[in-house]
Structure 1
Amino acid sequence: MKKLFKAFILTAAMTAIASGCSSQGSSGNGKTELTLFSTVTNESDQKTLTAVIKKFEDKNPDIDIKENYPADGYEGMLRVKMAANDMPDLFDTHGWAKNRYGEYTEDLSSMAWAESLDPALNPILKDDSGKVYAYPLNQAKDGITYNATLLEEYGIEPPSTFDEFMKALETIKKKSDGEVTPLWFAGSDKSAFGQFFDQFSTPLLVTDKENNFEKELLDGSFDWSNYTYLPEKLKEMFDKGLLNEDVLTAQNHQMTELMAQNKIGFIIGGGMLGPSVEELNPDVQLGVIPMPAIHEGDEQSWIGGERHTLAVWKDSKKKEEAKKFIEFISQPEIVKEIAEGTSLPPGLTNTESKNYYSEYFEKYKDIKVQPYFDRVFLPSGMWDPMGATGQELLTGTMTPKQVSNKMSEEYDRLLNQK
């Protein structure tokens, strides 16, 4: 028995040593292996990134990049890796480059592409000392995606105010005899409701001068009763049958096919959807609008920042290889390929690109881009309750007022943990 135990310990030790050697340098085939974790979930975006990775590997046959797309599990996995100080060689900072991942990121400011970083991304990816925390694969201009073909058929103008948005939803329901879902959510994933609340929080609480709560949100004194308007409106949409009947069980992968079948009017966000819909049905044209104004006299706003990034882990044993990959994807032709492949503006100014939504971005080019609400005004961890309360609201286990109370409790709790 003792011999068996010793053999087990020896085997475990040898396995650990082999694993350690592998993580520090070469894979089993003698190549240097880089681990890459990304929050990319859209299939066409993954294809774009995979194609770029293959081009790099073809030019650098001694490097092998293992990409991972954990989807909803991304944040949880990265938190575990941060706690163990065992981060991927390359990883997506998804809006938290400085506040969450800052101490784990290599400074990329000395790389040539840093001079071409779009100034709009400076507040998110660069600090006062000049450190550049991550490379932006693209940048977001989030608003509301809509079926332009359907709206034209029904004689509906793209809404610029929340009241117009509600009227458009009701018109779609009436003119389609209930055959088209006015506003569709993949509500089996709570982040769908998080997206709704997060994007509409900006016009509700930030952009209007008479209803600006930036100071209170930042110093912790915000009265969350001012937030109740949003769960009230979401509940109103649900009660009026303006959402999909399967709102709490619908899954993200259903969205593309339903939109291609002219079964959806509007989607919150959804900016990457266009090319996938076009592939299924080229007769359906999607459009995108900035967020409608909520308060009278206010203007529309884009919600944005970086969409996807790649940071280099500062303690990686393969930093030079990781930087080599970032140097490769910062070339103008690759910047253009990623931007057009993901239907989003590039994060660098060294190229011009055209994508599916270019005409809409051009149409609304004078609309100001506001940063994501939760990334600026909420403590880390608020995204989860923001989405979960949306689910509970529509199951009837919470009232709109209780949603605001829950948000207040979580806000105070998480703020005190900072």
Structure 2
Amino acid sequence: MKRLLKTMAIAIALTTIATGCSKSSGGNEANGGKTVVTMYSTVTNEADKITMQNVVEKFEKENPDIDIKENYPADGYEGMLRVKMAANDMPDLFDTHGWAIHRYGEYVEDLKDMNWVQDLDPALNQILMDDTGKVYAYPLNQAKDGLTYNATLLEEYGIEPPRTFAEFMTALETIKKKGKGEVTPLWFAGSDKSAFGQYFDQFSTPLLITGEKNFKKELLDGTFDWSNYTFLAEKLKEMQDKKLLNEDVLTAQNHQMVDLMAQSKIAFIVGGGMLGPSVEELNPDVKLGITPMPVIKEGDEPSWIGGERHTLAVWKDSKVKEEAKKFLEFISQPEIVKEIAEGTSLPAGLTNTESKNYYSDYYEKYKDIKVEPYFDRIYLPSGMWDPMGATGQELLSGTMKPEDVSKKMAEEYKRLLEQKK
């Protein structure tokens, strides 16, 4: 695979030479006398792009000798970055999208000496900092994922946000009964397997990671017994059998989500923390809420699932590291930190300012709840996200049973661990 990636990278490089250099390639190429800094981001939401573009424009106005060349490849991001890693030709600034240490660690500049590090939210330490104190990336914002719900609907039905998985199941059944077929208790855009990946990933933390009885050690040393994972597949299938999921669960698409939520046809979504502003725009009378992940084991405490959402790392071999760091210094100013957090409707990654966004009241209400990192990013080898989501599709299509899901996950886990050796 590595040889193939290198071959692809060489082909791309030859094509670039043959067709002439583009303005957006080559970190230090002159552009009208300016120093060019390339920046790649996983941002896809239009409002988030506008926020970033506005910030870049402000920086360039203050630093007319620097040109930040933005690139938002969307679904093509990971593929492009893998090719660039194989060629050791990374963007000067790039988004580590949850993999700052484990995937991109050897390519990033250590940022520990930058002033903003003193303001780094401690919740991000285990995601962006290692035991030696190396800081891998700058957090533009951070994720606090849980369950997003229609607060207007739950209030109407007299349902409290669930604190336990049992309460969650009861809430879904109550919604089915009171909604009389007009409201989907738990909705998935299941044409995209990542919707089920999100379910398994977020619920794996309260099942396997938090609390006194956990499987952290076994997951990290490769001895985990995957029968302990079967509970999640059993519950997802039970939800389908009880008609607590949307009938079109395997064909529904992401673009439908906002409109259906705005019409109060959805009660709960796993994740979905950025939905609020879009729903409000369509229907101001529908208010959304967000709650931490319900506990599964008795005596456990709820948790947020998250860490970094969007970041910027500096390529360690960049020829324009100083200019790239200058941009990070600029965006770490309190007023810019606030602008990015509010513009992306997510909590800031630094603690040097206060920002307000759609879910601020909920984040404040649950401010003492611990943020646990995404399960797959810490406890699974790279490549497990795909089977995690695909097994969800196969389970609900009837081609897998719950125990088959765990068996497939065990096989992929073992295979990918062997590849790492």
TM-score normalized by the length of structure 2: 0.91
The share of aligned pairs that are identical, in percent, is 79
The equivalent position to 1:220 in structure 2, one of 216, 219, 222, is 222
Partner Cα distance (1:170, 1:14) in 2: 61
Q: 1:129 to 1:341 in 2, by over 3 A?
A: same
Whether the 8 Å CA contact 1:151–1:265 is kept in 2: the answer is yes
Partner of 1:243: 245
Is residue 2:122 matched to residue 1:122? no
Q: Which amino acid aligns with 2:366?
A: Y
Measured after TM superposition, the shift of residue 46 of structure 1 is 2.4
Q: How do 1:2-401 and structure 2 match up within 5 A?
A: 15=18, 18=21, 23-26=26-29, 29-210=32-213, 212-401=214-403
Using a 3 Å threshold, how does the CA distance of structure 1 residues 27 and 245 change in structure 2: closer, same or farther? farther
> Contact conserved, 1:162 with 1:293, CA < 8 A, in 2?
yes
Against the structure 1 CA distance between its residues 71 and 182, is the aligned structure 2 distance closer, same or farther, given a 3 Å change threshold? farther
Q: Distance in 2 between matches of 1:13 and 1:135?
A: 30
Query: Shift of the alpha carbon at 1:253?
Result: 2.1
Matched residues in 2 for 1:119 and 1:264: separation? Answer: 34
Change (3 A) 1:394 1:72: farther
What is the alpha-carbon distance in structure 2 between the residues aligned to residue 153 and residue 13 of structure 1?
Answer: 59
Contact 2:23 2:31 (C-alpha < 8 Å) held by counterparts: no
Shift of 1:22: 5.4
Q: Deviations for 1:210-264, whole angstroms, at most 9, x for unmatched residues?
A: 4x11111111111101101111111111222222222222222221122111111
Task: Tell which deviates more after alignment, 137-146 or 357-366.
Answer: 357-366
Equivalent position amino acid for 2:169 in 1: M
Is the Cα contact below 8 Å between 1:260 and 1:277 reproduced in 2?
Answer: yes
Q: Which amino acid aligns with 1:345?
A: P
Instruction: Give the superposition deviation at 1:204.
Output: 0.7
Provide the rounded CA distance (Å) in 2 between the counterparts of 1:160 and 1:87: 44
C-alpha distance in structure 2 between counterparts of 1:36 and 1:12, whole Å: 21
2:280/2:286 contact within 8 Å kept: yes
Structure 1 CA distance, aligned partners of 2:194 and 2:417? 21
Look up the equivalent residue of 1:115 and give its one-letter code.
Answer: Q
User: What is the RMSD of the two structures over their aligned residues, measured on CA atoms?
Assistant: 2.1
Distance 1:327 1:298 in 2: 40
Aligned residue in 1 for 2:4: none
1:138–1:339 contact (8 Å) kept in structure 2: yes
**Deviation of residue 366 (structure 1)?**
2.1
| SS of equivalent to 1:172 | helix
1:324 positional shift:
1.7
Residue type at the aligned position of 1:313: W
Deviation sequence 1:262-320 (CA, Å, 0-9, x none): 11111111111111211221111111000001123322111121111100111222222
Q: For 1:20 and 1:280, locate their aligned partners in 2 and report how far apart those are by CA, in whole Å.
A: 39
Structure 1: unaligned runs, 5 residues or longer = 1-10
Contact 1:147 1:259 in 2 (8 A): yes
Closer, same or farther: CA 394–404 of 1 in aligned 2, 3 Å: same
Identify which range, 295-304 or 194-203, moves more after superposition. Answer: 295-304
Where 1:115 maps in the other structure, the secondary structure is: helix
Q: What SS does the aligned partner of 1:23 have?
A: coil
What letter corresponds to residue 157 of structure 1 in structure 2? Answer: E
**Distance change in 2, residues 1:22/1:136 (3 Å):** closer
Question: Structure 2: how far apart are the matches of 1:14 and 1:281?
Answer: 51
Report the CA distance shift for 1:254/1:13 in structure 2 as closer, same or farther (over 3 A).
closer
Instruction: Report deviation, 1:30.
Output: 4.7
Conserved in 1, the CA contact under 8 Å of 2:27 and 2:91? no
